[in-house]
Structure 1
Amino acid sequence: MLPKAYEPKEVEERLVKEWQAKKIFASNIDKNKVPFVIVIPPPNITGALHIGHALNCTLQDVLIRTERMLGKESFWVPGTDHGGIATQNVLEKKLAKEQKITRHDLGREKFLEEMWKWYKECGGAILNQFEKMGWAIDLSLENIRFTMDEKRAASVYECFKQWWDKKYIYRGKRMINWCVRCNTALSDIEVDHEQQKGKLYHLHYKGEESFDGIIIATTRPETIFADAAIAVNPKDENYQGVVGKKVRIPLTDRYIPIIADEDVEIGFGSGALKITPAHDPVDYVIGQRHNLPVISVISDKGKLINCPEKYVGMDREAARKEVVKDLEEQGFLVKEEKHDNAVGTCYRCGSVIEPYLSEQWFVKMEELCAPVIEAAEKEELKFHPASWKHSFVNWLKNIQDWCISRQIWWGHRIPVWYCTTCSKNGLTYMETKQGVKEVAKVSFEDGAKPVVSHTKPHSCPDCDGTDFVQDPDVLDTWFSSALWPISTLGWPEKTKELEYFYPTSTMVTGYEILYLWVARMAITGIDFTGKLPFKDVFLNGIIRDKTGKKMSKSLGNVIDPLDMTAKYGTDAVRFSLLMQAVLGKDIPYAEESIVGARNFCNKIYNASRFILMNMGDLKGPLKMPAEPKELADAWLIDRYNTAIKTAKDATLKYNMAAAANVLYHFLWGDFCDWYVELAKARFESDREYVMSILVNVLYGTLKALHPMMPFITEEISSVLKPYTGADKEFLLQDSYPLCDESALNPGAVAKMDLIKGIISAVRTVRSEFNVPPAQKLNVSLKAVDDEELKTVSDYADYIRLLCKTDNLTASKEAVKKPMSATAVYSAVTAFIELEGIIDVEKEKARLSKNIAAARANIANRKARLSDERFVNNAPKEQVEKVKAELAAEEIKLTSAEQALADFA
């Protein structure tokens, strides 16, 4: 027997230990089975898992468990990501706070020792969280992958080597994105673009001799010292005759030419564009076209250099204020305007990105992307939702070469070495505080000669020297992540796992890393194996707060999934996420949604306990009856088979919300609220028959629900098994319930829907007039349709039982008696006698008050929706909320007016 109350904590702690100890999540190479494989998007080792991880991994867990129960060899490949910049930032902050030191105080070797300690501590904590969430991952130590472990490092080197040999990898000087906070290069897709409120400064560049000069508009006046020219569009009538003249840069004595270029946008600002090749990618292209000098005035630390002495060393923000002040004082500032601007920021720390001319490592992308584009266009690679296909293909067709080098210490060191003799002119050194001399920068332009090798070379191919230094940069985090589907299965070795489990089946991830990660996995998979790494890409939405804002610690709207599981139980948290995981939609998530899921858990548990308590002396197994005896039996069996089929189909189509909702409504509504209530009357007369239906339908539904709510379903099913004849120790080892098409009965469903509709309509009247639950009612049913009259007559006992009536009649001629309320469903009208049951005058007063309130609320909502400023400027969610409130108030008004009319 089940305990009186369900205690999630005790059940979860016990079951996770049993599942892992008995290795029920382990996967084997079984050629008699079809494999189903998901590689986990490896969480960064930056700290605890967040609610986004909880959603993403629960979606994967549902697929893994479902496919395993359908007979496939499911393999969920676990692991973590070293997280490059993000993880290094975490440790650097920790060192600064706890020890008041920087990584440079420690030196590279000691700092990396601390990073590996952090990995062991944080990585272990993350795996513990995997276990607590009930995810079906085999957490045996030998099964855990890490992007920087020995085998993954070997795959990273092999990728680099092959791409180097194919001349896909090169080193060159280009305009890149530079984070002055993280002090490293970033690729284009690691830059977030935010609308920020700024200013547009109009500056007067005075001309030489009799030329009055020109006015330009800029958002970055601190960069004027890097100007190489002023450009105007040759078609701009405002600037005819000025091309070739020179103007002086304000606050300096340097003159620059006015040039013509069609890339200048006519009408933006003043129509004249200052060209700063070192600090803007568009300007760099224009500068190359016109052979302009490239002058850097902002350093890699975000400080001003190569400028008037007054500003040297100033932070770029402080310099902007000072430069603007001086421009105004000296008469160069014509005006300034408010200007919203899309500003690039670092996706990790949020600092404003600096366009920066730098020598970096790149991967040529055009040729590598071609087969991926073809696969997506032919839909060999499918996206769910399908709407992402166009964006994916379009991005690949317009892709830039991938900047893969990062100026940090935590990551895969670029496997390139330099002979200190042959490359001496291209190597720049620094000395750490411990007196260790390390190479800081490498320049191919100045003569550095690369030797690609996984380990330190024995001798130089040119001079036979043996003194080598390694490139100081590390590879972009996404370089190793791009290899995840193949590296986790053993590539570049031809392992049995790679042969059996590759290609994997489905990639489940957030849409925000579609380009950062999914595209690159497709590229490496095809290039190194000739096969796509997965056939389906399931992109889940982002979890936001209930107002639609993105969750962040700074806003204080973050929900910690482990806090919630401790409070409500893991199944409730999982199910609350799944219920809202509508394909292609972000989730406005709030703690209140977990309350509803927790209540669902309690409903299932209490109903199961009630059934078990009423088994009497019955012994199992109880087989499902071959034929239904009553309408309710036929109806329930149809609803059960339809629910499990709908849930399975929706799950396999990645519509988890639909699957969760259909099982929720079947169990709570059809099973608990209707069939169990009707079955109670038969516990004495036909106990074995109804119990056979109850336990088998309940057990089958628990199996279908198990991938979503593994703990409570396992707990209840363990007690139900003796009555069903199930012989598997755990639900995951059992088969997924399959629909019995022969048991579908549309006729029974139609009849039962009519009966339910009438009962619900009468119950609504009882509720509206606050009739006590125990009060018996007299109800007359008027049915004008012959079929409906026959149905309500044949199953009047159902209506009597669930409406609690003293007297129930059904005919075509039924008439309404005085002091009766009216309820209508389909073509059946129910007249509910209320005389002597309610205080009529009191109810009239209450209804009149409700009508007045509803009319006032309707007027208020209509006024708001007629206000164009509200409709056009308020958040979409707020407008939709007001519309929903208006609809609800209109229903209230109609209902109250009808009820009042009944007493007229």
Structure 2
Amino acid sequence: MPQELAKAYDPTSIEERWARYWIEERLFDVPTPTPGTSADIKKFVQLLPPPNVTGRLHMGHMLNQTEMDILARWHRMKGERSLWVPGTDHAGIATQMMVERQLAAENTTRQQLGREAFEQRVWQWKQEYGGAITGQMRRLGASVDWSREYFTMDENLSTAVKEAFVRLYEQGLIYRGSYIVNWCPQQQTAVSDLEVVHEEQAGKIYHIRYDLADGTGSITIATTRPETMLGDVAVAVNPNDERYQAMIGRMLVLPLVGREIPVVADDWANPEFGTGAVKVTPAHDPNDFEIGKRHNLPNLNIMDETAHILLAGSPYNGLDRYDAREKIVADLEALGNLVAIKDHNNSIGRCDRCKAIVEPRLSMQWFIKIQPLADKAIAAVEEGHIKFTPEMYAKTYFEWMRNIHDWCISRQLWWGHRIPAWHCRHCHEITVSRETPAACKACGATDLVQETDVLDTWFSSGLLPFTIFGWPKHDAQLEAFYPTELLVTGFDILFFWVARMVMLGTHFMLDVPMPDGSQRTLKDSVPFKEVYIHGLVRDADRQKMSKTKGNVINPIEIIERFGTDAVRYTLASQASPGTDIAFNEQRTEGYRAFANKIWNAARFLFMNIEKAKEAGYNIRLGENLPVTVLPAGTPLETRWIFARLSAVSAEVETALNNYRFDEASAAVYQFFWGEFCDWYLELVKLRLNFDQPGNAETAITLASLVGVFEAALRLLSPFMPFITEEVWHALYDNEPYAKSIALARYPQPSDFPAEKDAEENMVLLQELIVAIRGLRKDASVPEKEFAPVRIFTDIKTQAILDANREMLSRLARVDGVEFLEGSLSGANVRSTAKFDVAVVYERQVDVAAETERLTKEIAKLTKGLEAAAKQLGNEAFVAKAPAAVVDGLKKQQAETQLLYDKAKTALDALTK
């Protein structure tokens, strides 16, 4: 028999307990199946987008994890092998920044510590602080397999990263060379284009005169970064710009420096921008770098790693770039070479991590030749092996992939996967190796030093879909779980992570044989079959959350106030493809009330089970479903609620298959609150009579009530796991077969008898009850007072209503029903296509109010008739539309005409 539930629902008293229970019982662990047996159970595998080890839970995480958890629980309850793999990313830049801040507070630096001691310090930081976000995930009950939790710097994953690098190098796809990179002077490392945030900022454009070396003239260039002129090696003009054609090939004197530089013709120079002449500084601008390659110009790097001028003997040596800018502009003005300074809005790039302004800088880096990998990744989506939802992101993906540049994978950090390359001090050749080499591969010298750079964090995380399952080993878990089924993520890492996983997965896994030994195809090498991109969580005014605006919502604070289930439901209720979420606490408060409604329904059920036990009824828990056949004499409301269970189960199945979390949660909410609680629970009170032991109607009703409630709990469980687990265990009182609702069968449409007639008849009764309630309110009938009604309807409907007089009595306070042969009209009548109903109650009719109501109703019905006439009068439409559609429109037109006639008659009666 059920345990007693507390009188009031309090999420804080149950959530942490069940979160611990799920982990301690290892309910969501998925053992690797024995080879050859994995095909008998459908798998559903998801990889959590790994949060930074430095991170804390924010609303974006909460949305992502809510959606993933709903899907993981749903598939698990459907009997699938549902595996959700968690982990954290070592986050090279962010983590190193956190630890360096600690060191600064201790008046020391990583350089003073040395590399080995610094790495130990980072590991110490990780052990002490790095588990915050996964701790929050545990508290929120994410149904992940914690036995498979990974950290991207784990030994096995580090070995896999090294293997991937070496293979790519051996295949000629990794090279080392000088190229312009985005340089963060604060972190002193290269950062990718994707790690740079651009913002518009008011700035200046400077016009500077460069004199010809022979003294016969000058060219005025325009630049937004005058400090870089110290590294100029040419001035470029467009070959079609008539103003400068005579100067192409001539030499200029670089102001302040005195070095002579040529005028070159290059299509990059835009005659419409500035003066049409641009300075060329190949070491400090990506476009200038390409001009320099085309014209065989030298590269002159004039800044150090901290963006200070590095030119021995120069008056600007050692100055910060912006201090140098001020001094250079002042000196140009004193020299007479500053022509003009104009206001100009610049797009400034900032490091996404530390917000420092990045500096384009020529640097020796490691790169991946990306095109061969990109070609396979493009084909994987083009051929339909990977599906994007919403579909528009496939177009975005293609645009980026078809314009992709070689990937700079090196970072000048100490925290991360150190590049497995060794430099020979003797011959300067590089040896790339899986193990530390004893000697140089080129000259045999033993004086080797390892590359100091580490790999881009996204390189290691891009390998995760197969490295977490043991690659480069080809063992049972790789066979059983790769590829994964789904990736749920935000748009912000579509290029950072999603595209790179596709490129690396289709490259490396294509060489891994299938479990049967056959050659793996592109279809089988993709890291996931679907990518679902969710929207942003915005504030209640649909503004993007930011610390600057002060509108950031901390999900933990909201959870402490309303409970995890209510917050999850708030997010799910608005989550649909391509739609951002406006998070409003009022919604959360409403779903907290929904949880309370469920709690009270459970208490009502448990109370009646206890009464039944005392009255000698045999209540069999755990044997109520599936219910495929109902016994003879089952009341209409019970046949209806089972039909609704079947329909709602189908709605949820369809909605979740299409990632319409909003539609799925709305269907469950409407069923549990609107149909089960507001209608069914009120109706079963008519049938439960424990004063008569052995009453067949009571036995059928009670068994059905238990079965429907238990099914409704399971239907709700993926959305509200905590309250459903608490009620489930209370219902079954720790019976062995009820270890967790998360392991129970998810309701399927075929589990319940779906009687269409029962649904239609119940809808009719509901319409009548609602109409009577409205009439009672209009007539000011006291709430507890019963009143008779008069009904005009057809013989078939009359029979249905006559058989359910008790229902009308209880839910509409009706103490007598009179069926009339003629239609009804007047102020106290409500009409539908099926019936006219009037409440017999003496009151003074408010003629003006009723006239206004009927006038509005007639206007509404008139529009409906006009629309129907227009549509049915369209011969082309009628000819092409399916017959069922045309018949439906005609039926709707006839019903609307009937309601119009009744309303018109009622209005005429009032105005006579």
What amino acid maps onto 1:816 in structure 2?
A: G
User: 1:793, 1:810 within 8 Å by CA — same for their partners in 2?
Assistant: no
Cα separation, 1, equivalents of 2:361 and 2:814: 81
1:484 corresponds in structure 2 to 464
What amino acid maps onto 2:91 in structure 1?
A: G
The 5-angstrom pairing of residues 69-84 of structure 1 reads 69-84=77-92
Q: 1:719 aligns with which of 715, 726, 730?
A: 730
Shift of 1:359: 0.7
- Range that drifts further, 325-334 or 44-53: 325-334
1:50 aligns with 2:55: no
2:304 corresponds in structure 1 to 299
* SS of equivalent residue, structure 2 residue 235: strand
1:103 corresponds in structure 2 to 110
Q: 2:393 aligns with which of 388, 391, 403?
A: 388
The 5-angstrom pairing of residues 549-628 of structure 1 reads 549-615=543-609, 616-617=611-612, 618-621=617-620, 623=624, 624=627, 625-626=630-631
Q: 2:419 aligns with which of 388, 396, 414?
A: 414
The 5-angstrom pairing of residues 118-157 of structure 1 reads 118-140=125-147, 143-157=148-162
Q: 1:494 aligns with which of 450, 456, 474?
A: 474
Cα separation, 2, equivalents of 1:770 and 1:322: 86
Shift of 1:168: 0.8
The 5-angstrom pairing of residues 139-538 of structure 1 reads 139-140=146-147, 143-206=148-211, 213-237=218-242, 239=244, 241-249=246-254, 251-306=256-311, 309-324=314-329, 332-420=337-425, 422-423=426-427, 448-462=428-442, 464-530=444-510, 531-538=525-532
User: 1:568, 1:594 within 8 Å by CA — same for their partners in 2?
Assistant: yes
Cα separation, 2, equivalents of 1:416 and 1:602: 61
Cα separation, 1, equivalents of 2:439 and 2:221: 57
Shift of 1:58: 2.4
Shift of 1:357: 0.8
Shift of 1:240: 5.1
What amino acid maps onto 1:802 in structure 2?
A: L
Provide closer, same or farther for how the CA distance between residues 296 and 620 of structure 1 changes in structure 2, counting only shifts above 3 A. Answer: same
* SS of equivalent residue, structure 2 residue 240: coil
Task: Kindly tell me the number of residue pairs found equivalent between the two proteins.
Answer: 818
Cα separation, 1, equivalents of 2:149 and 2:836: 65
Shift of 1:227: 2.9
Superposition RMSD on alpha carbons, in Å? 3.5
Shift of 1:180: 1.3
What whole-Å deviation, never above 9, does each CA across 1:512-563 have from its counterpart, x for those lacking one? Answer: 1122112222222222221222212222223233334443444433323322
Unaligned runs of 5+ in 1: 424-447, 848-898
2:858 corresponds in structure 1 to none
Cα separation, 1, equivalents of 2:232 and 2:481: 57
Provide closer, same or farther for how the CA distance between residues 209 and 761 of structure 1 changes in structure 2, counting only shifts above 3 A. Answer: farther
- Range that drifts further, 224-233 or 299-308: 299-308
Q: 2:25 aligns with which of 7, 11, 22?
A: 22
1:802 aligns with 2:811: yes
The 5-angstrom pairing of residues 718-797 of structure 1 reads 718-721=729-732, 727-740=737-750, 743-757=753-767, 759-760=769-770, 773-774=783-784
Provide closer, same or farther for how the CA distance between residues 314 and 633 of structure 1 changes in structure 2, counting only shifts above 3 A. Answer: same
Provide closer, same or farther for how the CA distance between residues 526 and 205 of structure 1 changes in structure 2, counting only shifts above 3 A. Answer: same
Provide closer, same or farther for how the CA distance between residues 902 and 268 of structure 1 changes in structure 2, counting only shifts above 3 A. Answer: farther
What amino acid maps onto 2:419 in structure 1?
A: I
Cα separation, 2, equivalents of 1:219 and 1:757: 72
What whole-Å deviation, never above 9, does each CA across 1:550-585 have from its counterpart, x for those lacking one? Answer: 434444333233223222222222222222221222
* SS of equivalent residue, structure 1 residue 185: strand
User: 2:643, 2:752 within 8 Å by CA — same for their partners in 1?
Assistant: no
User: 2:645, 2:752 within 8 Å by CA — same for their partners in 1?
Assistant: no
What whole-Å deviation, never above 9, does each CA across 1:424-483 have from its counterpart, x for those lacking one? Answer: xxxxxxxxxxxxxxxxxxxxxxxx221223443233345544443211111111111111
Cα separation, 2, equivalents of 1:757 and 1:598: 29
User: 1:297, 1:307 within 8 Å by CA — same for their partners in 2?
Assistant: no
Shift of 1:33: 2.4
Cα separation, 2, equivalents of 1:338 and 1:778: 82
- Range that drifts further, 354-363 or 180-189: 180-189
Provide closer, same or farther for how the CA distance between residues 646 and 231 of structure 1 changes in structure 2, counting only shifts above 3 A. Answer: same
1:90 corresponds in structure 2 to 98
Cα separation, 2, equivalents of 1:717 and 1:761: 37
Shift of 1:49: 2.6
Shift of 1:324: 4.6
What whole-Å deviation, never above 9, does each CA across 1:779-806 have from its counterpart, x for those lacking one? Answer: 76677x8877776676565455434456
User: 1:360, 1:405 within 8 Å by CA — same for their partners in 2?
Assistant: yes
Cα separation, 1, equivalents of 2:60 and 2:640: 39
- Range that drifts further, 524-533 or 791-800: 791-800
Shift of 1:225: 2.8
1:876 corresponds in structure 2 to none
* SS of equivalent residue, structure 1 residue 668: helix
2:885 corresponds in structure 1 to none
User: 1:178, 1:186 within 8 Å by CA — same for their partners in 2?
Assistant: yes
User: 2:619, 2:703 within 8 Å by CA — same for their partners in 1?
Assistant: no
Shift of 1:775: 6.3
Provide closer, same or farther for how the CA distance between residues 202 and 673 of structure 1 changes in structure 2, counting only shifts above 3 A. Answer: farther
Cα separation, 1, equivalents of 2:682 and 2:12: 31
* SS of equivalent residue, structure 1 residue 370: helix
Provide closer, same or farther for how the CA distance between residues 782 and 290 of structure 1 changes in structure 2, counting only shifts above 3 A. Answer: farther
* SS of equivalent residue, structure 1 residue 394: helix
Provide closer, same or farther for how the CA distance between residues 535 and 382 of structure 1 changes in structure 2, counting only shifts above 3 A. Answer: same
Identity of aligned residues (%): 40
- Range that drifts further, 669-678 or 798-807: 798-807
1:33 corresponds in structure 2 to 41
User: 1:800, 1:808 within 8 Å by CA — same for their partners in 2?
Assistant: no
Provide closer, same or farther for how the CA distance between residues 560 and 415 of structure 1 changes in structure 2, counting only shifts above 3 A. Answer: same
* SS of equivalent residue, structure 1 residue 727: helix
Cα separation, 2, equivalents of 1:188 and 1:451: 29
2:687 corresponds in structure 1 to 682
Shift of 1:248: 4.9
User: 1:44, 1:82 within 8 Å by CA — same for their partners in 2?
Assistant: yes
Q: TM-score, normalised by structure 1?
A: 0.82
* SS of equivalent residue, structure 1 residue 6: coil
Shift of 1:336: 4.5
What amino acid maps onto 2:320 in structure 1?
A: D
2:879 corresponds in structure 1 to none
Shift of 1:735: 1.5
2:6 corresponds in structure 1 to 3
What whole-Å deviation, never above 9, does each CA across 1:472-521 have from its counterpart, x for those lacking one? Answer: 11111111111111111111122221122222222222221122112222
Cα separation, 1, equivalents of 2:841 and 2:236: 86
Cα separation, 2, equivalents of 1:220 and 1:823: 78
* SS of equivalent residue, structure 2 residue 528: coil
Provide closer, same or farther for how the CA distance between residues 415 and 801 of structure 1 changes in structure 2, counting only shifts above 3 A. Answer: same
Cα separation, 2, equivalents of 1:312 and 1:698: 78
Q: TM-score, normalised by structure 2?
A: 0.82
User: 2:826, 2:910 within 8 Å by CA — same for their partners in 1?
Assistant: no
What amino acid maps onto 2:49 in structure 1?
A: P
Cα separation, 1, equivalents of 2:312 and 2:328: 11
Provide closer, same or farther for how the CA distance between residues 586 and 221 of structure 1 changes in structure 2, counting only shifts above 3 A. Answer: farther
1:816 aligns with 2:821: no
Provide closer, same or farther for how the CA distance between residues 666 and 675 of structure 1 changes in structure 2, counting only shifts above 3 A. Answer: same
User: 1:695, 1:720 within 8 Å by CA — same for their partners in 2?
Assistant: no
